[in-house]
Amino acid sequence: MKITNVEVKTVPISSPIRNAYIDFSKMTASAIAITTDVIRDGKPVVGYGFNSNGRYAPTSLLNERFIPRLLEAEAKDIITDDGTNLDPHKIHAIIMSNEKPGGHGERTVAVGVIDMAIWDAVSKIEGKPLYQLLAEKYGNGQVDEKVYIYAAGGYYFPDKGLKELQDEMKGYLELGYKDVKMKVGGASLKEDLHRIEAVLDILPSGSGLMVDANGRFDLKYAIEFGEKIKDYELIWYEEAGDPLDFHLQAELSKRYPHAIATGENIFSLQDATNLIRYAGMNPEKDFLQFDCALSYGLVEYLRILEMLDEHGWSSRRCIPHGGHQMSLNIAAGLALHGNESYPGVFQPFGGFADNYAVEDGYVKLPEVPGIGFEAKSDLYNLLLTIGK
């Protein structure tokens, strides 16, 4: 078997929203289609992939380095030993050839785009949903029938007041979400505390709130903010400081008594290992948000899960950033805690299969081969335009 064609294009995922660090008005993603010569249902199998929000489209890196390496590889170097399928691990090694360690930069995003499309193709060739394949091959054989998801929103938005923020959160509850997340760090301390209280005021008992500072705070402010919010008993306090400031994280962990979450801007196994070693994260209560679609893909994510296991962390402490179907499959197949969801933003890449409503904070996955893009019509329609 072989890869017969690869097409990539840059598409907008812009939204007029702002977190504490960036606005998303010019955000883009790369979308890729990798065609094979394997025929299923009378048509060649095509694997699709894209990058997660927060980093811009790495299309030029894909075109200049990673796609040429894939297309120039000898067939035996990218397929399984029995020749029946693509091998994501071999492909990872091929496309990462002649790349020095460390630094990482935006190449982690480019590799994540290819990796997603390869896993989509691999599971389509096997004729199974990706979550099923993952549970059988890398997990304990058991699929989680439904996955915990929470609604991530509460962005800063021009002219958005407390009432609009409350209405937004009420809307998520009406959609079936139980827990909600909001941005902090993009306003004064006083204003953020009012915003948090406004949301807590409308949450029914049994629902919880997370706050996300997107890395905005220095150590002093991170601790002060933690002090102010600790009595709210939030589900977690996310990315207080710079994602690579492990000292800040460790100092905050000593003082903030509840759960902390971080990891969406940790892009490699080595950085994840350093986080676990040096940032004072607690495997009993904290959450890890590595997003494979930004960080060298699922091949790297599997290595991260192995590293976590060696350090006494359960996969159940992982709840990936990004709100996409790839991580939803990983959550269902590899026993993660759950997945993020962004109702209404980052469309059409955010969100899950059509006709699968959120119920009491959980969502089910469709029984279609691959990642399930074909079951999300707005996304699938966009993916069909790649190369056109």
The residues annotated as belonging to the active site are 183, 321
Q: Whole-number minimum distance, CB 36 to ligand OAA, in Å?
A: 33
- Quickly count: other Cβ atoms within 10 Å of residue 241's Cβ: 22
Which residue(s) pair with 340 in the sheet? 150
**CA 55 – CA 213 distance, rounded (Å):** 17
**CA 192 – CA 18 distance, rounded (Å):** 14
Determine, following the binding rule CB under 6 A, whether residue 19 of this chain makes contact with ligand OAA.
yes
Stretch 45-104 residues interacting with ligand OAA (CB under 6 A): 54
**CA 53 – CA 323 distance, rounded (Å):** 9
Amino acid at 17: I
**DSSP designation for 348:** T
Alpha carbon 308 to chain centroid, angstroms: 17
Residue whose C-alpha is closest to residue 129's, from 365, 378, 338 = 365
Nearer to ligand OAA, 19 or 132 (CB): 19
Residue 245's binding partner among Mg ion, ligand OAA, none (Cβ under 5 to 8 angstroms by kind) is: none
* Size of residue set near ligand OAA by CB under 6 A: 8
The side-by-side arrangement of strands in the sheet containing 28-40 is: 3-12, 28-40, 43-50
Would you give the binding string for ligand OAA spanning residues 283-322, x where CB under 6 A is met?
--------------------------------------x-
Residue number of the CB atom closest to ligand OAA:
19
Which residue(s) pair with 127 in the sheet? none
Which residue matches tokens 């097409």? Answer: 7
Determine, following the binding rule CB under 6 A, whether residue 212 of this chain makes contact with ligand OAA.
yes
Q: Whole-number minimum distance, CB 340 to ligand OAA, in Å?
A: 6
Q: Which residues of 56-92 are buried (b: 16+ CB within 10 A; e: fewer)?
A: bbbbebbeebbbebbeebeeeebbbeeeebbbbebbb
Nearer to ligand OAA, 59 or 341 (CB): 341
Nearer to ligand OAA, 147 or 152 (CB): 152
**CA 264 – CA 374 distance, rounded (Å):** 26
Out of 30, 214, 249, 329, point to the residue binding ligand OAA (CB under 6 A).
214
Q: Whole-number minimum distance, CB 92 to ligand OAA, in Å?
A: 25
Determine, following the binding rule CB under 5 A, whether residue 212 of this chain makes contact with Mg ion.
yes
Nearer to ligand OAA, 19 or 329 (CB): 19
**CA 287 – CA 289 distance, rounded (Å):** 7
Nearer to ligand OAA, 212 or 300 (CB): 212
Nearer to ligand OAA, 212 or 251 (CB): 212
**CA 237 – CA 248 distance, rounded (Å):** 14
Out of 57, 73, 113, 152, point to the residue binding ligand OAA (CB under 6 A).
152
Determine, following the binding rule CB under 5 A, whether residue 120 of this chain makes contact with Mg ion.
no
Residue 173, exposed/middle/buried by CB under 10 A (0-12, 13-18, 19+)? middle
Q: Whole-number minimum distance, CB 381 to Mg ion, in Å?
A: 28
Residue 54's binding partner among Mg ion, ligand OAA, none (Cβ under 5 to 8 angstroms by kind) is: ligand OAA
Determine, following the binding rule CB under 6 A, whether residue 264 of this chain makes contact with ligand OAA.
yes
Residue 259's binding partner among ligand OAA, Mg ion, none (Cβ under 5 to 8 angstroms by kind) is: none
Q: Whole-number minimum distance, CB 332 to ligand OAA, in Å?
A: 19
Could you tell me where the DSSP H helices lie in the chain? 59-61, 67-72, 88-95, 107-126, 130-137, 162-175, 189-202, 219-229, 246-255, 269-278, 297-310, 325-333, 377-383
Determine, following the binding rule CB under 6 A, whether residue 179 of this chain makes contact with ligand OAA.
no
Nearer to Mg ion, 299 or 319 (CB): 319
Q: Whole-number minimum distance, CB 342 to Mg ion, in Å?
A: 11
Stretch 322-341 residues interacting with ligand OAA (CB under 6 A): 340
Q: Whole-number minimum distance, CB 152 to Mg ion, in Å?
A: 7
> What residue ranges bind ligand OAA (CB under 6 A)?
19, 54, 152, 212, 214, 264, 321, 340
> What residue ranges bind Mg ion (CB under 5 A)?
212
